[in-house]
Amino acid sequence: MFRPDYSLRRAPAAAEDARRERRLEQIRGLKLNVVSEADSGWDRARRAWNLAADQRPRHVAFPETADDVVKLVTFAGGDGLRVAPQGTGHGAGALGSVDDAVLMRPTRMRDVAIDAGRRRARVGAGVTWSEVQAAAAEHGLAGLAGTSPEIGVVGYTLGGGLGWLARRYGLACNSVLAIDVVTANGVLLHVDREHEPDLFWALRGGGGSFGIVTALEFALYPVRELYAGALFWPQERAAEILATWQAWTSGVPDSVTSVGRLLNLPALLEIPESLRGRSFVLIEAACLATTDEGIELLRPLRELGPEIDTFTMLAPTSLGALHMDPVEPVPVSIDGWLLADLPTGAIDALVGAAGAGSGSPLLSVELRHLGGALLDAAPEYGALASLDARFATAAIGMVPSADRAAAVERHSAVVRAALAPWEADRNYPNFAERSSSVSDFHSPATCERLGRVKARYDPRDLIRSTHPIPTA
């Protein structure tokens, strides 16, 4: 009778276990603050801010210097592993599987230096926008932060960067002045318009596929105060309010950036009782204006009789609370896209799909007014030079369970289908929470150039990023 030799079957597994143990000893020997599956802090180390992303990398490393990143890349490249840099993990859904990678968390690289005279900042890869704005505000300056104060500067900026000052100063990626980046062959480069200009171009809006950014230098702008806040109405008035807002956006100056929004607040104790469990239509705005100028700008909207009015003069450090983004990690699903236009028919379609009586499980559906400086495409800008659309849309839902996630995804699809006739030709990387093709965001010529840069600096595809760039 044939008897299988189980010892031969066990040998490869034992050999692999021994190899993994040697590899773990080697990477620990580099003193890169590595956490692996057997360690007690594993689950916290691998956790993204978006808790819906269940990340299971081979290791998680917390480098403290650019030299540490060079050691990490060199080790990973020699051991057949990839490296996936991730600051906060707000966009972790677009990263995909990292089971063949070392997840690099730069949270200990938090240096912030402000050069007030030249109006510029230099920050480490682990810095969040709240840290930048606090440091810059001491000099009457502000960076081009997004709506969430705790999002990482680097990831947000490499993917474009669309914030409260966007219509006046454009995308954050085009205010970048220099970048320190470790390439896939373990070389630390300082890139700008004169040094490695192709790589500098690609990183500004092309994402993080080309290397691991360890520091970023970017322009700051003279902003001490803004007239900013939100107006709330019952969601049953959504069609009327959004139509008036859309007409209002056609006449406001570039100094005004605003958002129209359908918001369904959960019945949580953390939410004020007057808002808890209610649904609203909101207009949020940040105006580079005085109080008197702001009052005049908002007059057409205030004439609609908002139930709540929070507008006041704010320092840039307070803008992070305007959009009411959660600060602590949450499980969330985000689907975003751009709209070429927003006529009355589009507003009616949106309200029908996600407004009062629609049964929408979405927390928020928002429309961000674009235009202004976002349409400028100067020759010196990066891969994402402009956004050729009138509005950016995002459908957002909390997904604490699989059933809830399925319901949110189904309704996000309903909203997107309703607005499909007005969808723009391109998408915006930072609003795409699922891994997407580079052609979704860029023209064929830009895609081809990005592929050539990828082939030059990372031909083996060592760097794992959101929305990866294939080599040409």
Q: What percentage of the chain exceeds 90 in pLDDT?
A: 85
Q: What is the mean pLDDT of residues 384-404?
A: 96
Question: Using one digit for the tens of pLDDT, what is the confidence trace for 97-106?
Answer: 899 999 999 9
Query: Helix or strand or coil: residue 252?
Result: coil
Share of the chain above pLDDT 70, in %: 94
pLDDT value, residue 10 = 36
- Is a pLDDT exceeding 60 seen at residue 4? no
Would you say residue 6 has pLDDT above 50?
no
CB atoms closer than 10 angstroms to residue 125? 29
Q: For 118-159, write each residue's pLDDT tens digit.
A: 999 999 999 999 999 999 999 999 999 999 999 999 999 999
| Other C-beta atoms lying within 10 Å of the C-beta of residue 206 | 30
Confidence of residue 274 (pLDDT cuts 50, 70, 90): confident
Higher pLDDT, 227 or 274: 227
- For residues 390 and 165, give the distance between their C-alpha atoms in angstroms, rounded to a whole number: 16
Question: Measuring CA to CA, how many Å separate 466 from each of 208, 262, 272, 437, 452?
Answer: 7, 28, 36, 10, 18
Tokens of 89: 């993990």
Report which of 64, 103, 62 is spatially closest to residue 85, judged by C-alpha positions: 103
Tell me the average pLDDT across 278-304: 98
Dihedral angle sign, alpha carbons of residues 231, 392, 412, 160: negative
Q: Is the pLDDT of residue 17 over 80?
A: no
Question: CA-CA distance, 295 to 297, in Å (whole number)?
Answer: 5
Q: What is the pLDDT of residues 28-84, one digit of tens each?
A: 777 779 999 999 999 999 999 999 999 999 999 999 999 999 999 999 988 889 999
C-alpha distances out from residue 261 to 280, 362, 429, Å = 8, 12, 20
Residue 63 CA to residue 68 CA, distance in Å, equals 5
Position 232 pLDDT exceeds 50: yes
Give the pLDDT confidence score for residue 90 in this predicted structure.
92
Mean predicted confidence (pLDDT) in 290-307: 98
pLDDT at 11 over 60: no
* Residues 335-344, mean pLDDT to the nearest whole number: 96
Which domains does the chain show, CATH number per domain?
Answer: 10-104 (3.30.43.10), 112-222+450-457 (3.30.465.10), 226-431 (3.40.462.20)
Asked if 467 contacts 94 with a C-beta cutoff of 8 angstroms, the reply is yes
pLDDT at 5: 34
Q: Give residue 307's pLDDT band: very low, low, confident or very high (50, 70, 90).
A: very high
- Note the Cα 72 to chain centre separation in Å: 25
The pLDDT assigned to 377 comes to 92
- At 397-433, the pLDDT tens digits run 999 999 999 999 999 999 999 999 999 999 999 998 8
Better-predicted residue by pLDDT, 472 or 448: 448
Report H helices in 40-102: 42-46, 66-78
DSSP annotation string for 169-195: H--GGGGEEEEEEE-TTS-EEEESSSS
Map tokens 């082939």 to a residue: 455
Q: What is the dihedral of CA 172, 173, 174, 176, to 10 degrees?
A: 100
User: DSSP readout, 185-226?
Assistant: TS-EEEESSSSSHHHHHHHHHH-STT-EEEEEEEE-EE-S-E
Q: Which of 443, 414, 412, 413 is nearest to 426 (CA)?
A: 443
Q: Specify the DSSP class assigned to residue 288.
A: S
Strands 364-369 and 391-398, how do they pair? antiparallel
Q: Which residue has the higher pLDDT, 436 or 357?
A: 357
Q: Are 363 and 264 in contact (CB under 8 A)?
A: yes
For residue 288, pLDDT over 80 is answered with yes
DSSP line for 356-421: TTS----SEEEEEE--GGGG---TTS-SS----SSEEEEEEEE-SSHHHHHHHHHHHHHHHHHHGG
Q: Which residue has the higher pLDDT, 11 or 144?
A: 144
- The answer to whether the beta carbons of residues 371 and 422 sit under 8 Å apart is no
Q: Quick one: pLDDT at residue 291?
A: 98
Indicate the pLDDT class of residue 2, thresholds 50, 70 and 90. Answer: very low
